[in-house]
Each structure stands twice: as structure tokens, then as C-alpha cells.
């Protein structure tokens, strides 16, 4: 297939009832009216600043390669800065060389660039001429000219969407320029922006209703306050893990006399930490039992913590005491839903999402005759949400999705108060993004069939999916075959947290 649909990687709802739907596809955000199913506003993330690690040689004939890698985008307002910015190393403007430099707020402003001189790009400049810069890569530069010529500026992917009702703004993070922006939900104009310290990996709203918490790949959590009266130019460092921060949430507890607030964070090293807020230098406790990364946390309406990650189960916690109340089976459910050829196909497909992991497996298999566990599905929770379903015990359901697995798993409280598996909804493809409004779940799937966004009302006994955008004629941009790998890397990132497969942090 020459090209494929780019799935929606982030979803949010905001506005009147029924709310408008905000969907992020690659670097573009669309606002879709819930009544007309029409796109009413779009916003495209500015091209990211050039990174210090970019190939410093002028890529041959790069001008013809579109920097954003997507063939058709409805809004092509912003032009890419890569096309002519980097010609010869000596002419690189100082502002784009530093690793930590970021673009100005108006990032579409053209970078100062010197027109390429003839012949500069004909052959790699002698490494010795780049006197002022450290150039560890000089070896690669000469040899790998062919591959580096094709290297493109990465798209400024949108990472997270978070609607803040109390301020009527939509918080958006972008991964390449590492920026948190607040957008007007109607016009999608940027109202405010903060540069982030590192690439954001998690975002959450403090239960005061307006403080935004952003966790990053270095394990730190910063808070940002959108209120004008407390507008701060910089985020405030609240806490840090020495690990990739995978997810965070917040909660409070009331002992009758006073209410205390807490930030709950999780990392790649199996930890769930409960920290006091605003006195974040006082750690309240840890919830320890997971044997693999923790990738999702949910505080339920009953103030229980549900955790999921690379384990075969979900944890249900009394988070205040660090007490594991229940381990809810996931593997058994998945292995019952997918059997035989279907499971085989699923496992095969999931291996494609993690080429590096696959390589390591092959290495392992060669070195030691390891038993090939290829048949066993690797589980990685990528979403846990609570849904209002009137018919259920406590009127709630917990819905869980797993990376690469085309199903919504429904869990409900049994008579004993324990969470129990309560059915599933098959989806057209692996669920990439998901959001909830009352009893309705909106989801973006990685699939050529079905809607770009599907919708299912879990209060409806039939609970079948419908195509939310049906008839709107909106399909989003397409991904060319040559970029499929890049897109997959972005969309299927959770399994990469697992240890021992040559992924993150594996260097000994």
C-alpha cells in the first residue's frame, strides 16, 4: 500500500454539551464540531528548531523532500525551516546549533540563513575545518553521506492534549520543540506558552482545576499556572524521579478536619510515588508491587488508584497507605479474546512496532538457545479511564486499552467491591488515543478501515462502535510509505519502556 492514514494520536473534548472534539494528527490539531462533525479550526505546531545533532552537511537535493513527511496536510501555512537553513557548517547560524536552543515564540519566522554557496555540498567538508565545534561525528559524515542526505527534520509532534475547563483553555505539548502552549479552544490561537526543560512524557491537571503538571523524560515534574495573576515565565520544579516519568495524576484525601492534596507519579523503574502538594519536598509514600514499568495511573471516583503497565495485571491500590488491594487479571482476558491465528497475527504485528526489540531477540536467540516465546503476547497498558455507566455497580466502569491490541477491555465493580472483567468492545485497530464524555468513549485507532475517530456509548447494552466523523469527508493527512516507520515509533512507544531489550537506558 503506497500510503496510509495517520491515526489520531491524541484526543480531547471541550466546550458545550455535546463538546467539540480536538484531535491531534502528527503536528496538527483539529477542532471538530460535535454537531456538524466539521473541522472548525486547525493549528499546526511550528517546525522545531534544528538540533545540534543534525547532519551538518547540506543534504543533496533536500529541497525536494518535504520536511514534514506527510504528503497532504489541510493546512500548509507554515513552511519548514529545514529547506535552506543548513548548508555548510560554517554558515549555520549560531542560534540553531546549540542543543538546547529553541525557536522563538513565533517559530514560523524564517531562520537567518545564508544562501548555499555552489559546491559547498558537493562533498563533505574536511572535518578539521569545523574548528569551533566539537565534532564527534566526523567519521559518520564522510561515510554515511547517502543516508544522512535523506535525514529530515523531525515533525513537531503533538504529544498531549488537556482541556482546562476553569480557564477555558486547551493545553498542548509538542515533543520536538518541547513546549507547553495554551490555546483558545474556539480559535486555536496560542494564548500562552512555556518552554519545557525536557521532552514531555506526561501531563495532568492538579485537582485545584488549573495547575498543569508536566512530567518529562528525565523524570522531573514541573507545574505551570495559567492564571494571569500568577503567571510565571518558568515552570516550578516540584519533584523528580531518576527515571523516565511515564505518567502522573493527582488526588486528595480528607481526614475530616483538613484536606490534603497529593501528586502521584510513576516511572519506568516500577515505582509509583505519592508526594504531598504543595509541599512536594515531602514524599508521602510509595506503591510498590509492579515488576515492570508503570505506564498509566487513574484515580477513581472512589479515590482508589488503578495502575497498569508492562505487567499482566492492573493494580488497585489504597494509595494513601501504599497497600495493594487487588491485582486484576489482564493477560487471561486477552488470551481468551484472541486465540489461534488471530493471536499469532497480533503478536507478529506487535513485533513490527518495535524493530529494535526484535533485533535484540534475534541476538539473544543466537547467543543462547533461548526458548522462542514469540507466541506470547507482550502486554503494555496505554490507557486507563473511568466511564460513567449508570447500570453498573457504583455507576462506573474502568476501561483499559493495551498497546497494539484492537480492543477496549471493560472492568466493573462486582458485589464484593472488586474489579472484575465485564466484557470488551472490539475496535477496528489498535487504540492509539482515547477520551471519555459521560458514558461515551471516543477513540482513535490505527486502522485503514472504520472511522478516523470511533465512538461507543457504554451505557447502551449493544455498545457498538460508530464512526464519529462519518460523512464529514475528513480523513486527515496521509503517511507515505517511507515515513511509516517514523510514525509507528511515535504511536507505539509504551512497550519500549520495557527493560532488557536494548531500548532506553540499556548500556551495560
Partner 1 sequence: MSSSPAPNPTKRQKRIDYRNAVHQDALPQKRYYRQRAHANPFSDHRLSYPLSPAEMDWSDYFPAYFSKKRKLDDTTDDSVESEQPPADSNNGTTLDRKKVEVADIGCGFGGLLISLAPTFPDTLILGMEIRTQVTAYVQDRINALRTQSLSRKGGDQEEVPGGYQNIGVIRGNAMKFLPNFFEKHQLSKMFFCFPDPHFKARKHKARIISPTLLSEYAYILRPGGIIYTITDVEDLHLWMAKHLDEHPMFERLPEEEQEEDVCVKIMRTDTEEGKKVARNKGSKWVACFRKIEDPI
Report how far residue 391's alpha carbon sits from residue 245's, in angstroms, rounded to the nearest whole number. Answer: 36
Nearer to partner 1, 100 or 426 (CB): 100
Which residue among 77, 109, 237, 365 contacts partner 1 (CB under 8 A)?
A: 237
Q: Which is nearer to partner 1, 284 or 410 (CB)?
A: 284
Q: How do strand 220-224 and strand 236-240 relate by DSSP bridges?
A: antiparallel
- Cis (ω within 30 of 0) for the bond into 429? no
457 lies in the binding site for partner 1 (CB under 8 A) = no
Q: Give the single-character DSSP code of 339.
A: -
Sheet holding 28-32, edge to edge: 10-14, 20-25, 28-32, 39-44
Torsion angle of the four alpha carbons 286, 287, 291, 293, in this order, in degrees rounded to the nearest 10? -80
Cβ closest to partner 1, residue 414 vs residue 505: 505
Say if CB 74 and CB 42 are below 8 A apart.
Answer: yes
- Residues numbered 323 to 362 that lie near partner 1 (CB under 8 A) are 324, 327
Q: Does 500 bind partner 1 (CB under 8 A)?
A: yes
Q: 118-157 mask for partner 1 (x: CB under 8 A)? A: ----------------------------------------
φ, ψ of residue 387 to 5 degrees: the values are -125, 135
Query: 140: helix, coil or strand?
Result: helix
Nearest-approach distance from CB 242 to partner 1, in angstroms = 4
| Least distance (Å) between residue 336 CB and partner 1 | 23
**The one among 241, 354, 361, 392 contacting partner 1 by CB under 8 A:** 241
- Nearer of residues 58 and 273 to partner 1, judged by Cβ: 273
CB of 356 to partner 1, least distance (A): 14
- Judged by beta carbon, residue 116 or residue 285, the one nearer partner 1 is 285
State yes or no: residue 236 binds partner 1 (CB under 8 A): no
Q: How many alpha carbons fall within 13 Å on the CB side of residue 284?
A: 26
Based on the shown chain and the rule CB under 8 A, indicate whether residue 291 belongs to the binding site for partner 1. Answer: yes
With contact defined as beta carbons under 8 Å apart, do 315 and 289 qualify?
Answer: yes
Query: Which residues are 411's β-sheet partners?
Result: 398, 421
Q: Quote the CA–CA distance of 185 and 169 in Å, as a whole number.
A: 6
The residue from 27, 87, 121, 220 that contacts partner 1 (CB under 8 A) is 220
396-402 vs 236-240, strand pairing mode:
unpaired
> CA angle, 357 as apex, 355 and 358 as ends, to 5°?
65
Binding segment for partner 1 (CB under 8 A), chosen from 29-37, 61-69, 203-211, 235-243, is 235-243
Q: Give, as ranges, the residues between 261 and 290 that touch partner 1 (CB under 8 A).
A: 269-271, 273, 275-276, 279-283, 285-286, 288-290
- Give the nearer residue to partner 1 in terms of CB position, either 58 or 268: 268
Q: How far is the CB of 300 from partner 1 (least distance, A)?
A: 21
Query: Least separation, in Å, of the C-beta of 200 and partner 1?
Result: 16
Written as one string, the DSSP assignment of 58-77 is PPTTGGGS-TT-BS--S---
Our finding on whether 311 is near partner 1 (CB under 8 A) is: no
Instruction: Scan for cell 472504520, then name that residue.
Output: 450
| Nearest in space to 88 (alpha carbons), one of 66, 60, 116, 64 | 116
Binding site for partner 1 (CB under 8 A): 218-220, 237, 239-243, 260, 269-271, 273, 275-276, 279-283, 285-286, 288-291, 324, 327, 499-500, 505-508
Amino acid at each position: 500500500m503506497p500510503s496510509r492514514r495517520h491515526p489520531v494520536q491524541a484526543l480531547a473534548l471541550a466546550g458545550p454539551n455535546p463538546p467539540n472534539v480536538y484531535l491531534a494528527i502528527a503536528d496538527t490539531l483539529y477542532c471538530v464540531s460535535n454537531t456538524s462533525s466539521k473541522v472548525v479550526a486547525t493549528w499546526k505546531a511550528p517546525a522545531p528548531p534544528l538540533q545540534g545533532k543534525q547532519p551538518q552537511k547540506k543534504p543533496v537535493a533536500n529541497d525536494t523532500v518535504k520536511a514534514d513527511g506527510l504528503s497532504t496536510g489541510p493546512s500548509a501555512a507554515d513552511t519548514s525551516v529545514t529547506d535552506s537553513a543548513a548548508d555548510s557548517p560554517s554558515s549555520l547560524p549560531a542560534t540553531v546549533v546549540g542543543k538546547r536552543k529553541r525557536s522563538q515564540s513565533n517559530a514560523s519566522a524564517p531562520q537567518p540563513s545564508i544562501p548555499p554557496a555552489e559546491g559547498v555540498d558537493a562533498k563533505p567538508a574536511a572535518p578539521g575545518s569545523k574548528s569551533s565545534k566539537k565534532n564527534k561525528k566526523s567519521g559518520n559524515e564522510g561515510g554515511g553521506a547517502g543516508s544522512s542526505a535523506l535525514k529530515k527534520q523531525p515533525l513537531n509532534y503533538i504529544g498531549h492534549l488537556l482541556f482546562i475547563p476553569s480557564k477555558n483553555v486547551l493545553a498542548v505539548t509538542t515533543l520536538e520543540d518541547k513546549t507547553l502552549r495554551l490555546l483558545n479552544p474556539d480559535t486555536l490561537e496560542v494564548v500562552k506558552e512555556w518552554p519545557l526543560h525536557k521532552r514531555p512524557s506526561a501531563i495532568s491537571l492538579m485537582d485545584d482545576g488549573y495547575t498543569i503538571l508536566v512530567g518529562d523524560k528525565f523524570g522531573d515534574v514541573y507545574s505551570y499556572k495559567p492564571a494571569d495573576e500568577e503567571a510565571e515565565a518558568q515552570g516550578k520544579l516540584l519533584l523528580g524521579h531518576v527515571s523516565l516519568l511515564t505518567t502522573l495524576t493527582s488526588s486528595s484525601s480528607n481526614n475530616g478536619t483538613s484536606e490534603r492534596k497529593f501528586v502521584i507519579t510513576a516511572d519506568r523503574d516500577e515505582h509509583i510515588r505519592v508526594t504531598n502538594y504543595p509541599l512536594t519536598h515531602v514524599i508521602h509514600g510509595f506503591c510498590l508491587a509492579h515488576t515492570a514499568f508503570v505506564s498509566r495511573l487513574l484515580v477513581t471516583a472512589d479515590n482508589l488508584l488503578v495502575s497498569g503497565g508492562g505487567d499482566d495485571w492492573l493494580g488497585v491500590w489504597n494509595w494513601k497507605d501504599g497497600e495493594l488491594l487487588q491485582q486484576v487479571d489482564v493477560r487471561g482476558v486477552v488470551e481468551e479474546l484472541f486465540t489461534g491465528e488471530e493471536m499469532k497475527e497480533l503478536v507478529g504485528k506487535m513485533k513490527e512496532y518495535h524493530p529494535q526489540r526484535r533485533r535484540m531477540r534475534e541476538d539473544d536467540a543466537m547467543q543462547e538457545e533461548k526458548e522462542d516465546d514469540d507466541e506470547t503476547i507482550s502486554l503494555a497498558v496505554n490507557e486507563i479511564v473511568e466511564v460513567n455507566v449508570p447500570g453498573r455497580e457504583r455507576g462506573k466502569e474502568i476501561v483499559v486499552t493495551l498497546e497494539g491490541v484492537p480492543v477496549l477491555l471493560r472492568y466493573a465493580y462486582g458485589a464484593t467491591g472488586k474489579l472484575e472483567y465485564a466484557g470488551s468492545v472490539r475496535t477496528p485497530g489498535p487504540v492509539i488515543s482515547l477520551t471519555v464524555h459521560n458514558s461515551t468513549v471516543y477513540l482513535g485507532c490505527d486502522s485503514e478501515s472504520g472511522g478516523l475517530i470511533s465512538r461507543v456509548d457504554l451505557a447502551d447494552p449493544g455498545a457498538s462502535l460508530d464512526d464519529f466523523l462519518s460523512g464529514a469527508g475528513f480523513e486527515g493527512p496521509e503517511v507515505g510509505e517511507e515515513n511509516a516507520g517514523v510514525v509507528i515509533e511515535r504511536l507505539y512507544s509504551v512497550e519500549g519502556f520495557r527493560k532488557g531489550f536494548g531500548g532506553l537506558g540499556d548500556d551495560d
